[in-house]
């Protein structure tokens, strides 16, 4: 994962033009030229837009695979793999670490220690297998329904899942005194609400009334993760945010199945 820098105390603007490239730089490995990295969590309103870019690339890859005549399972696999590659699997890593830590330790301190360990355990492996399987099957069914259905679902899932990350960043304190999440800081409520408003507006524009079910599904999953994280480690970490993105994405994709 990329390291961030704390928010500049004197920059309290709600939006800056560099927030979008900052979000892309943090959440992906796309080559984004940046000179300043001082916005921290104040750039979190743009996380859904960064997700939109990754979801768009995934959808485009799926459409190109369809145009080449590849079978639907391979199309779904390509659409699944592209955002993982472009993000450096940072959210998948967060899901694995969260699963190992929250279920493998008996105290908050031990759970955080396990989450920081680069080794993966049984819970992490199982979580990744189930996550990849759920997303792969959902995309398979969505592409079988229609290319448009799959593409809009990919975009909606990318938007809402990253808006949920910003919400958890805002709602929960940091569980540890260092790490990626702590380095970014906590976004103000207005930042989180702006990110959510953007994600919801674009989602309804993409999928219409079905966006309500997608929003509810993502919200329920996110609330559950936040409550578990608060109970088990006292707050959130970068790994918790990654797990939030993964599970919210699965919830949205499943909710949009025809």
Q: What is the pLDDT of residues 52-107, one digit of tens each?
A: 999 999 999 999 999 999 999 999 999 999 999 999 999 999 999 999 999 998 99
What is each CA distance from 109 to 25, 97, 207, 215, in whole angstroms?
30, 14, 43, 33
Answer for the pair 203, 160: CB distance below 8 angstroms, yes or no.
yes
- pLDDT tens for residues 31-43? 988 766 678 889 9
3-state SS assignment for residue 142: helix
For 194-225, the DSSP string reads HHHHHHHHHHHHHHTTHHHHHHHHHHHHHHHH
The structure tokens listed for 24 are 């892309």
Answer for the pair 29, 86: CB distance below 8 angstroms, yes or no.
yes
Phi, psi (rounded to 5 degrees) for 240: -60, -40
Q: What pLDDT is stored for residue 180 in this prediction?
A: 66
**Of residues 4 and 80, which shows the higher confidence score?**
80
What average pLDDT is seen over the chain?
92
pLDDT score of 9 more than 70: no
Q: Crossing angle, helix 210-233 and helix 147-171, to 10 degrees?
A: 40
DSSP 35: S
pLDDT score of 2 more than 50: no
pTM of this structure = 0.92
User: Quick one: the chain helix, strand, coil %, rounded to 5?
Assistant: 75, 0, 25
pLDDT score of 216 more than 50: yes
Integer Cα distance of 189 and 10 in angstroms: 18
Answer for the pair 218, 196: CB distance below 8 angstroms, yes or no.
no
Q: Of the candidates 154, 160, 158, 137, which has an alpha carbon nearest to the alpha carbon of residue 216?
A: 160
- ∠ CA 119-124-128, rounded to 5°: 120
Question: Which letter, b or e, does each residue of 126-150 get, where b requires 16 or more Cβ atoms within 10 Å of its Cβ?
Answer: ebbeebbebbbbbbbbbbeeebebb
Q: Of the candidates 96, 98, 67, 62, which has an alpha carbon nearest to the alpha carbon of residue 77?
A: 62
Integer Cα distance of 51 and 160 in angstroms: 9
Q: Which helix (H) or strand (E) holds 156?
A: helix 147-171
Q: What pLDDT is stored for residue 25 in this prediction?
A: 92
Q: What's the rounded mean pLDDT across residues 239-247? A: 97
Q: What pLDDT is stored for residue 135 in this prediction?
A: 98
Q: What pLDDT is stored for residue 39 in this prediction?
A: 82
């Amino acid at each position: 994962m990329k390291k961030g820098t704390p928010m500049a105390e004197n920059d309290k603007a709600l939006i800056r033009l560099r927030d979008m490239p900052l979000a892309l730089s943090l959440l992906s490995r796309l080559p984004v030229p940046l000179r300043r990295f001082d916005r921290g969590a104040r750039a979190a309103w743009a996380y859904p837009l960064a997700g939109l870019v990754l979801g768009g690339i995934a959808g485009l890859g799926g459409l190109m695979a369809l145009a080449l005549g590849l079978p639907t399972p391979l199309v779904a696999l390509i659409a699944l793999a592209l955002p993982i590659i472009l993000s450096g699997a940072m959210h998948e890593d967060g899901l694995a670490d969260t699963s190992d830590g929250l279920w493998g330790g008996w105290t908050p301190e031990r759970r955080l220690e396990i989450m920081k360990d680069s080794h993966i355990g049984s819970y992490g492996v199982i979580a990744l297998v189930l996550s990849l399987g759920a997303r792969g099957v959902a995309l398979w069914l969505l592409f079988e329904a229609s290319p448009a259905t799959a593409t809009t679902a990919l975009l909606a899932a990318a938007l809402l899942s990253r808006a949920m990350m910003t919400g958890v960043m805002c709602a929960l304190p940091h569980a540890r005194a260092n790490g990626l999440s702590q380095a970014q800081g906590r976004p103000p409520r207005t930042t989180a609400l702006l990110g959510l408003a953007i994600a919801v507006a674009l989602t309804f524009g993409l999928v219409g009334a079905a966006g309500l079910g997608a929003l509810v599904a993502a919200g329920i999953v996110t609330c559950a993760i936040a409550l578990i994280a608060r109970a088990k480690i006292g707050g959130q970490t970068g790994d918790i945010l990654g797990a939030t993105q993964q599970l919210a994405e699965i919830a949205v994709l499943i909710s949009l199945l025809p």
